[in-house]
Chains A and B, each alone.
Chain A
Amino acid sequence: MDAALRRRPWAARGPGDPAVPDAAEAAIAGSARWAGVLERLGGEGQVVLDHWEPARAARYGPVPGALDPRLVEALRRRGITRLYRHQSRAVEAALLGRHLTVVTPTASGKTLCYNLPVLDSILADDASRALFLFPTKALAQDQLVELQQLADAAEMVLRTHTYDGDTPPSVRAALRDAGHVILTNPDMLHTGILPHHTRWVRLFEALRYVVLDELHTYRGVFGSHVANVIRRLRRICAFYGSQPTFITCSATIANPVELAERLLGVTVERIDESGAPAPAKRLVVWNPPVVQAALGIRRNAALEARALVPALVRRGTQTIVFGRTRLQVEILLNYLRRALAEPTAEPDGAPPARVRAYRGGYLPLERRAIEAGLRDGTVRCVVATTALELGIDIGQMEAAVLVGYPGTIASTWQQLGRAGRRGRPALQLLIVGGGPLDQYVATHPEFLLEQPPEQALVNPDNLLVLAGHVQAAVFELPFTDGERFGGVDITDLLRLLAEEGMVHHAGGRWHWSADAFPAEAVGLRSVASSNVVIIDTSSPPARPSGGPQGPWAGSGGGRPGSGARIVGEIDEWAAPLTVHDDAIYLHQGRQYHVERLDWEERRAYVHPVAVDYYTDAEVRVSLQVLDCFAGPEACPGESAERAHGEVRVSWLAAMYRKVRFLTHETVGAGPIALPERDLHTTAYWCVFPAAVAARAGRALEPGLHGLAHALEQVATLTLMCDRRDLGVAAQVRAPVHRLPAPPPAAAAEEFIAGGRRDGPAPAPADTDRGPRGLATIFLYDAHPGGVGLAGRLFELHPLLLARAAELLRRCPCPSGCPACIGAVAGVDPQVKAMAQTLLAASAAPVAPAATGTALRRAPSHEPSRDGTAREPR
C-alpha cells in the first residue's frame, strides 16, 4: 500500500491511515476472481501493468451532536447509524458555518455532506434557504430526488424543485416565494436569478448555504465566469444581509482548495480524507496484440473490448465501458450485443436490454431509464461516453473498462473510479489504442500511477470576463464609490463604462443607465446551445385537419408531422459529422438512415434501417489569418517572431466513409454538402526562423507539434485557463509570415479565397528553405471573438518560450512523454530533442549566415535581423 501511495503521492491519505488487515486476503480473492477472465485471453505481453490497490476499510466518525434529532432518526431509518469520517467532519464544519470543500472519490457519499446541514438549517428555521448549483440540468434532477428522499425520511416539509429552462412558470413563482432549496445551474443564476433578485427576496435574505457540486468542472474561462457570478451572488447576499456558507465538492484534481478559494473568494476548509470503504482494485493496462508484425499494427481496441467485456458480463460482473467518442460507444454497443448474442437493436416494447449505451443526445427519459436499470442491476453492462463521468448516481460497478486512454489523468481516474462495489474486488481495465499517446501509456504504464492529475485553473480577473460581469453587477445593484468587486478595484472600469454611456455616476454611486440587459450579453460557456433534433419519419404523422383546439386538439392542427417521433438530439457542432444526408445514425443500437438534414430548421429526418455498416465522417480544420494586430516581430535577443491577430478557424465536414462492422473495411464513401462552421477569434502565433526549420529535417513536424503541446501547457498555466479554452495549430509552412502588412482586409480575402496570390510561385517540394511559409505555432482563443487570452500570450511571449524550455528540461522522460510533448509522444525518439532545438534556436539571435541563405529569395519579408520590433502597419 505504501508503495502504491508513494507512487501516487497526491492520493488522499489520512495521517493515521490504518493498514487494512484483510487487504492481502482481498487481493488474493480478487485475483482468483478476475484471473480466469484476463489470463485466459492474455496472449504474450498483453498485460503491461497489473497493479493491486488494497482494500480500504471504512472509517467512521460520530453523527454530529448538533444535528437535528429528526435527521438522525431519518438516517437510522435508512440504515445509517454512523457517518463516514469525512461526512462527519464535513457536516460538523458546515453546521458551524465554515466554508469547505470535500474531495473524496466517486460514490463516497458526498451528497450527504451537504444535504444534512442544509436540511438541518431548514428544520431549525423554516425561513432558511439554500441554493444548489450543478453544472448540468441532469445532475440537478438527480440530486432533487436524493434530497427529497432524505427529507421524506425525516418527515419534514421540504419545498424544493429544480429551477432552469425546463421549469414551468407556475412552479417558478411558487419556488421564488416559498422554495427552501433551489437547484439550478450557474447559467440560470447568471441570467435568470441575479438580475431579478428583487423577486427572490426570501431566498437572498435567508440564504444559509450555497452548494457547488462538481467543482472541478468550473475551470478555465467557464470557471472564471462562474467565479464572477459567485462574486455577484455574494454582493446580492450582502445587500439582503445574508452570509451563506459555501459547501463545495470536487473530483480529484491537483488543486481543489486553490480552485475553491479562487472561485468563491473565501478561505475554505479541505476535507479530503475519505472514510468510505473501498474494495481491493486491480488495475490492468492492456495492450492489444500485434496483428501485422511488419507495420507493427495492433488490433483495434474496440475489437479487443469485444473479446474481453462479454467474458466479464457472462460471469455476472456489472461492467461500465467508456468509449472515447459517441460513435465509438454505439459501435461498441453493437459489438458487445452481438458477442453476447443479444439483438443489436431493441425492438419497441421489448423488455430493456441488459447491455445499453449512454451518451449525450439521448432523451432525458431514456437516460433516466438506463440510470435506474444500472442501479437496480437489470442493466448489466453500459457503454458510455464522458457523459457518465460526472456524478450521476448509477451505483458502483464491479468493473470499469476504458477503451482508449482518455487523454488526461484526472479523467482516467474519474472513469476508473466508477468500479468498486463494496465487499467485492473491482477490476479497472484500460485497453489502450494504437495511437502514439496510447502506446506511450502502454510502454510507460507507471505514468498513470506517478503523474498527478491535472490542475483546474481559473482567472476571474481576466479583463474581458470581469468587464462583462461588472456590467451585470451594476445592473443588479449600483456600486458605491470605492466599492470593490471580489477584491478588485474597478473604479477605472466603471469610469470607462460611464464614458461609453453604460453607467451614470450620481450621488456617490454608479447606476446602470443603458437600455440593455448585460447578463444576456455574457455567455458563461463557449459552446453553442442550439441542438439538431432527430426525427423518425416512419411513425405515422397525425392527419392534418382544421379542427379546433382544446382537449380535442389531437384531432388535427399543429405542425405537419407533429405525430412523428423524436429519436434524440445532437449539438450543432457534431451534427454535420453524425446526421448529414445519407449518414447512418446509431442510437442505442438502432440504426437510422438520415434522409435529409434540414440545417436551417435544425432537424434531421431519419427512418430505421438494418445495414451492416456505419458511417464515419471526416472533418477538415483549417486556420486562416484575417488580420494582424501586432507583429510579426522578434523580441530583443530572439529570432522567433511573435504576432497577434484575428483568425478564422473553420471546420468542414467534407466527406464520409461507410465502414463495415467488425472488419472495419471501407465499403463506400460520399461527399457531405454542408456549410463550413467558423470560429472568428483572436490568436497569438510564434513563427520560427527558416534556418531553424531547415536544420530540423524530417523531425520538424512532430517536433513542432510537441512544442505546440508544451506551449499550450505553459500557456494554460500562465493564463490560468483550461485546455479547452485554447486551440492549438502547428503549421510547418504557414503563409502568415508573408502577410503583406497593409491592407489587412485584402489579405484576409486572399486567404479566404484559398491563397490565390500573385508573386513568386512557390515550389511545392521546396520544404527546407522555400519562401512558401515558415514553421508556425498558433494558440487561439477557443471562444467566439476571444476573451483576451491571445493578447496576453502575445505580451508574455518570451516568458512562454522560457517556461516551455523549462518544462521540457525538467520533465524526466528521455525522449518525450504525454506530459511534456503530448500526443506525439512515441512518434519519433527525436521529438523532444527537436522541440528543444526549436526553442533553443528561437531564443538565440539569428546567425547572419543562416538567415541569409534561407531568406534571400524573399527579401521583402525578411525578419528584422537586429531584433527590433517591426512596425505593425
Chain B
Amino acid sequence: MIAALRQRLRALAGEGAGAGRVRALGPVAGRRPRGIAGSFGPPPQHGGWGAGAGAVPAPARGLARLGFHLDEGVLVRRLVVRVGQQAAGGLDAVAPEVVALLAGDLAWAAADPAAVWYFDTETTGLAGGTGTIPFLYGWGRRIAGGMELEQWLLADLGAEELLVDRALRRLAGPGGVVTFNGTAYDLPLVRTRAILARRERDWRGPLHLDLLPLVRRLFGYRLRRCTLAEVERQLLASGRSDDLAGSEVPERYRCFLRDGDGSHLAEVLTHNERDIVSLGRLLAVLGRQAAGAVQEPGDHLPLARFYEARGATASALRAYATALDVVAPPLDRVSARHHARLLRREGRPAEAAELWRMLWERWGDLEAAEALCVDHEWRRGDLEAALGVAERALGVAPPALADRFARRIWRLERRRGRGSAARRRDAGPEGSRAPAVPPPWSAWLPGGASYEAWQAARRRRAPATSGTWAAPTTAPREGDRPVALSA
C-alpha cells in the first residue's frame, strides 16, 4: 500500500515542471528537510546581520555572498542596473499623462514617479491557488541612468508574516505598481498571503498598471505568445539565451529549501532582475506607442482601437484614417469598418456613409450594405437607392443574414408603395393568385399584410434567384425507406 502511495506521489510530482530533475540533484531520503530561518535567530532584535557574519552558519553565508542582508527581519538584496537610453529597449521616462492613458486611470497622472515600483514575484509553483507561495519579491524603480532593484527573499516557509507585512506597506505607498500579468497572478498571490497571514481581509490593492493586456491590445496581432520572453525578443530586441526558464524557478527554490544552499538561487535572482528591468523598458516602448510613434505600419489599427476604447476619439479617428492607407489587407477592411462605426457614433453620418460605400463596393461588406440602406432611407430619403442596395445585398447574403435584407426590402416596398401605385403595379401580373388589392385594414393592422405572405408572393414571382435565402427544406434521402409507423 505504501509502495503504491509512493508511486502515486512520484507520478504527481512528475507533473510539476522540472520536478523530475529534483531527485537527480541530491538524495532525498534520509536527509531531514530543514528550514534555515532558525539559523538567523530572532533577527529584528539583533539588527545588523552583516556585522556578525562570522557567526552565521554556512547556508546563510551562501546568501550573504549573493548580497542579501537582514533589514527589519527581511532578507533584502539591493543593486543598481545601468540601462542605456537607446530608442529600442531603452529606459526613457514616460510622461505621467501617457501612463494615465495607458492605464485608463487618471490617478496615474498624479502618482509620484519616484514611488512607482516595477514589481515581479517568483513563486514555489505555477499552479496558483493558496498553496503557491511567492518566495522572492522583486521591486525596481527608475533612477537616473538605470534602475534601482530590491529583492526580498523568503528564506523559510514558516516565516512569511514579516515579508507579507512589508510588501503590504510598500504596496500601500504613494506611487503605483507596474506588473506584467499582475492582475491575474502577482497581486492575487499577495492578497492570498495577506489573508493567510491574517493581515488583510478586504485588501483593495494598489494603484496598478498591468502591462500584459496592453501588450495584447497593441502588439498581440504580431506576437505568437504574449509572454515576457517573447515581448523581449520581439519588442525590446533583446533575447536572453543563458537565462533560467521560468518553469525551473520553483525547483531551484525547493533545492534551496532542502539543503539551504543559497547558490541554487543565483540564477533565480538574475532571472527576476531581468524581468523587472524588462518591465521598465516595456513601459517605455508602450509609452512611445501610445504617444503615436508607432513601430510598424500594422500597429496603427490596434492603436486606433486602443484610443477609441480609452475615449480619445480625435486620436482614434486620425489613427484609423492613417491605418486605412498603410495597413495591409485584410486588416484595411477591418479598419474601415471600425472607422465608419466610430464616425457614425460620433454623429458624422456623411463621412461614415462614404466609408460604408467604399466598404460595400470594394469588399461587398454586408454590414456596410445595411448601414448604407439606413443612410439612403433615413438621411437622404432615397428609397429607391436603399432598395437597390438591399436587393443586391440579398443576392449575396448567406442564409443566416438573408432574412434581415428580405425584411428590409419588404418594409421598403411597403413604405414606397404607401403613397404611389407601385403596389398595384407589383401585384399586377400575379393578380390571379395573390390578392391584387390588399384589404383596407392591412395597412394599419399589425400583421395584416404579413411578412410571411409577402415572402410567399415574392417567392412565386422569382423562384430561381431566391434560392439563397429561401427557408431550407429537408429533402428525404435516398435509401431511407419510409415505413408505416402505425402497427
Interface residues of B in 261-318 (CB under 8 A from A): none
A196 with B129: CB separation less than 8 A = yes
Q: Select one of A196, A513, A662, A682 contacting B254, CB under 8 A.
A: A513
- Proximity bits, A554-582, B CB within 8 Å = 1, else 0: 11100000010000000000000000000
A516 with B13: CB separation less than 8 A = yes
B474 at the A interface (CB under 8 A) = yes
A265 at the B interface (CB under 8 A) = no
Residues in chain B near residue A504, CB distance under 8 A: 33, 35, 157, 254, 257
What is the minimal beta-carbon distance from A172 to any residue of chain B, in angstroms? 14
What is the minimal beta-carbon distance from B276 to any residue of chain A, in angstroms? 22
Beyond A477-B196, A514-B19, whether A501 also contacts B13 by CB under 8 A is: yes
Residues in chain A near residue B19, CB distance under 8 A: 501, 514-516
A555 with B127: CB separation less than 8 A = no
| Measured CA separation A505–B257 after assembly (Å) | 10
B52 at the A interface (CB under 8 A) = no
Q: Select one of A500, A612, A661 contacting B13, CB under 8 A.
A: A500
B408 at the A interface (CB under 8 A) = no
Q: What are 15 of the A-B contact pairs (CB < 8 Å)? A: A198-B192, A338-B487, A339-B487, A464-B8, A506-B159, A511-B158, A514-B124, A514-B125, A515-B127, A518-B131, A538-B477, A548-B337, A554-B398, A661-B487, A788-B1
Residues in chain A near residue B485, CB distance under 8 A: 338, 343-344, 610
A198 with B191: CB separation less than 8 A = yes
For chain B, the count of residues having a C-beta within 8 Å of the partner chain is 68
- Proximity bits, B444-487, A CB within 8 Å = 1, else 0: 00000000000000000000000000001010010011110111
Beyond A338-B485, A500-B6, A610-B482, whether A506 also contacts B35 by CB under 8 A is: yes
Residues in chain A near residue B258, CB distance under 8 A: 501
Beyond A543-B398, A609-B477, whether A198 also contacts B130 by CB under 8 A is: yes
B17 at the A interface (CB under 8 A) = yes
Residues in chain A near residue B126, CB distance under 8 A: 515
Closest 10 CB pairs of A and B: A507-B158, A475-B131, A506-B35, A515-B16, A517-B127, A506-B158, A512-B131, A515-B250, A515-B125, A511-B157
Nearest residue (CB) in B for A341 is B486
A477 with B487: CB separation less than 8 A = no
B366 at the A interface (CB under 8 A) = yes
A497 with B9: CB separation less than 8 A = yes
Beyond A502-B13, A514-B125, whether A543 also contacts B37 by CB under 8 A is: no
A496 with B6: CB separation less than 8 A = yes
What is the minimal beta-carbon distance from A814 to any residue of chain B, in angstroms? 41
Residues in chain A near residue B486, CB distance under 8 A: 338, 341
Residues in chain B near residue A502, CB distance under 8 A: 9, 12-13
| Measured CA separation A506–B260 after assembly (Å) | 12
Beyond A198-B195, A464-B5, A474-B131, whether A505 also contacts B398 by CB under 8 A is: no
B333 at the A interface (CB under 8 A) = yes
Give the residue among A474, A502, A545 with the most B Cβ atoms within 10 A.
Answer: A502
| Measured CA separation A26–B171 after assembly (Å) | 75
A96 at the B interface (CB under 8 A) = no
Beyond A201-B195, A501-B254, A548-B337, whether A506 also contacts B10 by CB under 8 A is: no
- Proximity bits, B1-28, A CB within 8 Å = 1, else 0: 1101110111011011111001100001
| Measured CA separation A593–B400 after assembly (Å) | 27
A506 with B156: CB separation less than 8 A = yes
- Proximity bits, B236-272, A CB within 8 Å = 1, else 0: 0000000000000011001001100000000000000
A499 at the B interface (CB under 8 A) = yes
A548 with B334: CB separation less than 8 A = yes
B480 with A611: CB separation less than 8 A = yes
- Proximity bits, B109-132, A CB within 8 Å = 1, else 0: 000000000000000111111110
Taking residues whose C-beta sits less than 8 angstroms from the other chain, chain A's interface range is: 35 or more
Beyond A343-B485, A507-B156, whether A521 also contacts B12 by CB under 8 A is: yes
Residues in chain B near residue A500, CB distance under 8 A: 6, 9-10, 13, 28
Nearest residue (CB) in A for B472 is A540
Nearest residue (CB) in A for B196 is A198
Residues in chain B near residue A516, CB distance under 8 A: 12-13, 15-16, 19, 125, 127
A197 at the B interface (CB under 8 A) = yes
Chain A residues in contact with chain B, CB under 8 A? 195-199, 201, 205, 338-339, 341, 343-344, 463-464, 467, 471, 474-478, 496-502, 504-509, 511-518, 521, 538-540, 542-543, 545-548, 550-552, 554-556, 563, 593, 607-612, 661-662, 682, 785-786, 788, 791
Beyond A506-B158, A508-B158, A542-B400, whether A476 also contacts B131 by CB under 8 A is: yes
Beyond A513-B254, A514-B16, whether A788 also contacts B4 by CB under 8 A is: yes
| Measured CA separation A551–B338 after assembly (Å) | 12
B133 at the A interface (CB under 8 A) = yes
Residues in chain A near residue B5, CB distance under 8 A: 463-464, 467, 496
Residues in chain A near residue B337, CB distance under 8 A: 548
| Measured CA separation A652–B17 after assembly (Å) | 36
What is the minimal beta-carbon distance from B158 to any residue of chain A, in angstroms? 2
Chain B residues in contact with chain A, CB under 8 A? 1-2, 4-6, 8-10, 12-13, 15-19, 22-23, 28-29, 33-35, 37, 124-131, 133, 156-159, 188, 191-192, 195-196, 201, 250-251, 254, 257-258, 330, 333-334, 337, 366-367, 397-401, 472, 474, 477, 480-483, 485-487
| Measured CA separation A474–B486 after assembly (Å) | 64
| Measured CA separation A240–B477 after assembly (Å) | 65
What is the minimal beta-carbon distance from B311 to any residue of chain A, in angstroms? 20
Residues in chain A near residue B334, CB distance under 8 A: 548
Residues in chain A near residue B4, CB distance under 8 A: 464, 682, 786, 788, 791
Beyond A516-B16, A516-B19, A521-B12, whether A556 also contacts B398 by CB under 8 A is: yes
What is the minimal beta-carbon distance from A764 to any residue of chain B, in angstroms? 38
Residues in chain B near residue A607, CB distance under 8 A: 477
Nearest residue (CB) in B for A517 is B127
Residues in chain B near residue A467, CB distance under 8 A: 5, 8-9
B1 with A593: CB separation less than 8 A = no
Q: Select one of B35, B196, B251 contacting A515, CB under 8 A.
A: B251
Residues in chain B near residue A338, CB distance under 8 A: 485-487
Nearest residue (CB) in B for A554 is B400
A499 with B28: CB separation less than 8 A = yes
A791 with B333: CB separation less than 8 A = no
Give the residue among B15, B192, B472 with the most A Cβ atoms within 10 A.
Answer: B15
Q: Select one of B129, B474, B480 contacting A610, CB under 8 A.
A: B480
| Measured CA separation A791–B133 after assembly (Å) | 37
| Measured CA separation A550–B340 after assembly (Å) | 14
Give the residue among A467, A508, A682 with the most B Cβ atoms within 10 A.
Answer: A467
B127 with A511: CB separation less than 8 A = no
Nearest residue (CB) in A for B251 is A515
Beyond A501-B13, A609-B480, whether A542 also contacts B254 by CB under 8 A is: no
A499 with B15: CB separation less than 8 A = no
| Measured CA separation A563–B17 after assembly (Å) | 40
| Measured CA separation A717–B298 after assembly (Å) | 70
| Measured CA separation A539–B33 after assembly (Å) | 64
| Measured CA separation A545–B400 after assembly (Å) | 12
Nearest residue (CB) in A for B135 is A513
Residues in chain A near residue B17, CB distance under 8 A: 515
Q: Select one of B1, B23, B33, B400 contacting A563, CB under 8 A.
A: B400
B474 with A197: CB separation less than 8 A = no
| Measured CA separation A462–B150 after assembly (Å) | 48
| Measured CA separation A103–B308 after assembly (Å) | 61
Residues in chain A near residue B366, CB distance under 8 A: 547, 552, 555
| Measured CA separation A38–B366 after assembly (Å) | 66
Residues in chain A near residue B481, CB distance under 8 A: 610-611
A513 with B12: CB separation less than 8 A = no
| Measured CA separation A786–B480 after assembly (Å) | 47
| Measured CA separation A540–B468 after assembly (Å) | 12
What is the minimal beta-carbon distance from A548 to any residue of chain B, in angstroms? 6
What is the minimal beta-carbon distance from A228 to any residue of chain B, in angstroms? 15
Nearest residue (CB) in A for B36 is A506
| Measured CA separation A475–B131 after assembly (Å) | 4
Residues in chain B near residue A201, CB distance under 8 A: 195, 201
Nearest residue (CB) in B for A471 is B12
